[in-house]
Structure 1
Amino acid sequence: MAGTTFCEVSELYNILNQNTPLSRLPEFNYLCLIDACAKGQYNASHIITLRCHLQDSKGKFIMPAGVEVESMRNIVVYDSNSSSLQGSAMECAEALTKSNRYPVQILKGGYQRFSALNPFIRTQKILYTIKELESLRPYTVELLPDQLYLGDYNALVNVSEDTSHVLEKGNLHVNVADSVAADLYSSFERICVFIGSHFVIFILTRSISEAWEHVLQCKTNMRPNRGFVQQLYDWELHTLGRRMTDIAVPCY
């Protein structure tokens, strides 16, 4: 039995927005998201791809049809405002842990907190076809919630039809070729200054390996090219005064 654990809002947000480049939500054993709220609350509004929990005549949880718990990589349960390991979300999660090899995650803050921070990911839709799931356009993942995001040019051009509010806050364009030999190192300091001094402190206290582990938790298919890794390696020496990461290991 794998047990239960809390899942932060940003973690579920990133799970929902993984792509390769199509959304990962259609994958059979990728995510099972279960609503332990009352039926009326589920019908009114819920997170996309959600399944409503089912109960038998004795009030015991019943697994939704077609869900193979044993092979499910991410199982997340929430109620209206989960804040402790008690309540309907916990009861639902405990029923699932009996056969799942991975920990069942309980959304911290429940639906109320998630929908307040991410109102664009809620819906009243109940059933999705595979084609509909494949056509979902993922959002950029959060590296630092509400502060730092990871995306590509699509996120830049699709962020809004009105870009005036974006330009007011400033923007930084680092023009480099899409090549292993491209020089990003010379722009690292300028990038850090642009992001802000308080984030530079956060970044400077972490080695490449620690930063890489965090990025992989947010975006599971990230694979930087060797040229970029080498430049980060040099930047680590520049900022920390010593080399702390062995970039020869396979994950880099």
Structure 2
Amino acid sequence: MAEIKPCEPSVLYNLLNRSGARLAEINYLCLIDARETQDYRTSHIITAKPVKADSEAAFLLPEALEVDSMQHVFVYDSNTSSVQEDSRALLCARVLSEVSLSPVLVVIGGFQRFSALYPYLRTEKIMYNRHRLVHELESLKPYPVEILSGLLYLADEKQSADCSLLGEMKISLVILLSQQSTRGSQTIANFPVDDSVTADLYSSFERICDLIASTIDSGSRVLIASPRGRSRCSAVTIAFLMKHRKHTLQEAWSLVLACKPDMRPNAGFLQQLAAWELHLTGRRETNTSLL
């Protein structure tokens, strides 16, 4: 029997936005909506499947759903706040756990909290045609990765230039680490740094980190971007977490990696982050060879 665990909405958000192509894989994500059928039809999280109950109120999993082969299994109801309560989400999670090989994650706060945080990821569409569903998932517009809930996001340069996306997400400041300059309705702070092992990002850490901190301390949202969204922006994000959230390099690295598994500062930036840790704490606490 698989373990049942609580999870924050941001975990599901980041998984949904890793890649539309991955979402289209038949065994990648199992997302179950445990609410009443009418609630599901009114609005639900994208890719979610409804669940039915029999005459004895026992949950019946959707037909043709091979839960035992799924890499990620999530369930939500209206507003479950704990895995200790006998909510619809937990009752459904117990059924899922009997057949799943992966942990069953219950989204804390349910649909109400998730849709309040990410209203652009809810839909009324109900897909019955598998080919149409695959097409829609492959063409799904990914949103930036969320590092700090409602405050700090990480993206590629294309996303940072999408004014409609930035508007939906209420982004106030874009930190762009690129040789290219971008104009938009949001405030752009451009730092022209190459993604090379000899490029100097360290000398900009202080200024960038303080700029991010002053913006999110005012309750506004910041997006950090670089061309591919993997090296420069992740290095700056880690540097910020080290200075303003007091994380070690290891802790900050692990946090960003959990949100964005394909992130990877180049070797030069990694050494600069190690020097940053020494500057901030007066000692080297992280063995960079293990990262």
Asked if TM exceeds 0.5, the reply is: yes
- Of 276, 280, 283, which residue of structure 2 is paired with 1:235? 276
**Residue 203 (structure 1) aligns with:** 242
Cα distance, 1:165–1:73 mapped onto 2, change above 3 Å: closer
**Residue 145 (structure 1) aligns with:** 149
| Greater fraction of residues in strand | 2
Secondary structure in 1 matching 2:193? coil
1:220 aligns with 2:248: no
Secondary structure in 2 matching 1:75? strand
Query: Residues of 2 paired with 1:23 and 1:221: CA distance?
Result: 15
Query: Residues of 2 paired with 1:148 and 1:191: CA distance?
Result: 13
Structure 1 residue 186, shift from structure 2 partner:
0.8
- Of 174, 178, 189, which residue of structure 1 is paired with 2:191? 174
List aligned pairs for 1:27-46, cutoff 5 A: 27-46=25-44
**Could you say which structure has the greater relative contact order, defined with CA pairs below 8 angstroms and 6 or more residues apart?**
1
1:62 aligns with 2:81: no
Structure 1 residue 68, shift from structure 2 partner:
1.9
Query: Residues of 2 paired with 1:117 and 1:125: CA distance?
Result: 20
List aligned pairs for 1:8-23, cutoff 5 A: 8-19=8-19, 22-23=20-21
1:109 aligns with 2:109: yes
Query: Residues of 2 paired with 1:23 and 1:213: CA distance?
Result: 25
- Of 60, 63, 70, which residue of structure 2 is paired with 1:72? 70
Cα distance, 1:44–1:4 mapped onto 2, change above 3 Å: same
- What is the root-mean-square deviation in Å for CA atoms of aligned residues? 2.4
Secondary structure in 2 matching 1:83? coil
**Residue 155 (structure 1) aligns with:** 159
Deviations 1:170-193 (A, max 9, x none): 442110113222110110011111
- Of 188, 199, 202, which residue of structure 1 is paired with 2:205? 188
Cα distance, 1:33–1:161 mapped onto 2, change above 3 Å: closer
Structure 1 alignment gaps of length 5 or more: none
Structure 1 residue 100, shift from structure 2 partner:
1.6
Deviations 1:134-177 (A, max 9, x none): 11010001001111101011121103399897689744211011
Structure 1 residue 63, shift from structure 2 partner:
2.0
Structure 1 residue 96, shift from structure 2 partner:
0.8
**Residue 93 (structure 2) aligns with:** 93
Structure 1 residue 36, shift from structure 2 partner:
0.6
Q: Which aligned segments of 4 or more residues in structure 1 are displaced greater than 4 angstroms?
A: 161-170, 197-202
Query: Residues of 1 paired with 2:249 and 2:172: CA distance?
Result: 33
1:246 aligns with 2:279: no
Paired AA for residue 194 in structure 1: L
Paired AA for residue 159 in structure 2: A
Verify the 8 A CA contact 2:159 2:165 in the aligned structure 1: no
Cα distance, 1:196–1:169 mapped onto 2, change above 3 Å: farther
Q: Percent sequence identity over matched residues?
A: 47
Query: Residues of 1 paired with 2:141 and 2:135: CA distance?
Result: 12
More displaced stretch, 52-61 vs 215-224: 52-61
**Number of residue pairs the alignment of both structures matches:** 248
Secondary structure in 2 matching 1:160? helix
Cα distance, 1:23–1:180 mapped onto 2, change above 3 Å: farther
TM-score calculated relative to the size of structure 2: 0.78
Deviations 1:195-214 (A, max 9, x none): 12687885332111111111
Paired AA for residue 154 in structure 2: L
Paired AA for residue 141 in structure 2: R
Cα distance, 1:210–1:162 mapped onto 2, change above 3 Å: closer
Secondary structure in 2 matching 1:196? helix
Verify the 8 A CA contact 2:37 2:52 in the aligned structure 1: no
